[in-house]
Amino acid sequence: MTRADMDAVRDAFAAAARRSARLGIDAIQIHAAHGYLLHEFLSPLSNQRTDDYGGSLENRMRFPLEVFDAVRAAYPADRPVSVRLSGTDWVPGGWDIEQTVAFSKALEARGCSAIHVSSGGLHPAQAIPAGPGYQVPLARAVKQAVSIPVVAVGMITDFDHAEAIVATGDADLIALARGILYNPRWPWHAAAHLGASVSAPPQYLRSQPRQFPTLLVKGGGTAFD
């Protein structure tokens, strides 16, 4: 990419942030994981540049940080901007958790609201030890290094497992993807299992389960008959 190409991409990120604000989006996230462009700048496996944007960690972080600064400046200050990272490439000599921690600290210093820790997605040689919570140690390492919220993700499908990750301080939030596709009411079922309540629109109160009479409490929305 030429400097002009990089400027165009940076400005496009900022323009997207401004559109999100106009649409009333409450929070946005910059995707810098899974082999997407910003991850390609970060990882020494993909970044083969020999200018100020390649080589050292400081140089490889430079363009992603420029993008973050542009997005943060374009989005209302009272709304959060988070960043999703790959905590490791799972390839020797690639992006790793130590570099992730350094990048997370730099993002925090610039006003990042939260770090979402995923992994992989960059290189075909990746050897991912997939299993329930396999990325939690990556989130834990970031959590121990920053004071902003950290999100854990990756094959977290069990209610008690998710609760334990938060309760032990390994992460502040749990993200679900395929688990939500399979069970769109996962948060409600988790609340029922853990004895909690959730806020629901008035029309949903009619579905209050007999065995969980305090699960659903009146929230926002309009009832339709």
**Known catalytic residues?**
36
8 Å CB contact between 138 and 117: yes
Measuring CA to CA, how many Å separate 41 from each of 35, 128, 181, 185, 223?
Answer: 9, 21, 31, 37, 49
Q: In terms of C-beta density within 10 A (0-12 exposed, 13-18 middle, 19 or more buried), how is residue 2 classed?
A: exposed
97-109 helix and 57-74 helix, angle to the nearest 10 degrees: 40
8 Å CB contact between 209 and 200: no
Give the tokens for residue 219.
């929230």
Strands 114-118 and 150-153: parallel
8 Å CB contact between 131 and 143: no
Place of tokens 């900022």: 14
In one-letter notation, the amino acid at residue 41 is F
Question: Dihedrals φ, ψ of 32, to 5°?
Answer: -120, 35
8 Å CB contact between 151 and 175: yes
List the one residue out of 48, 12, 45 whose CA is nearest residue 30: 12
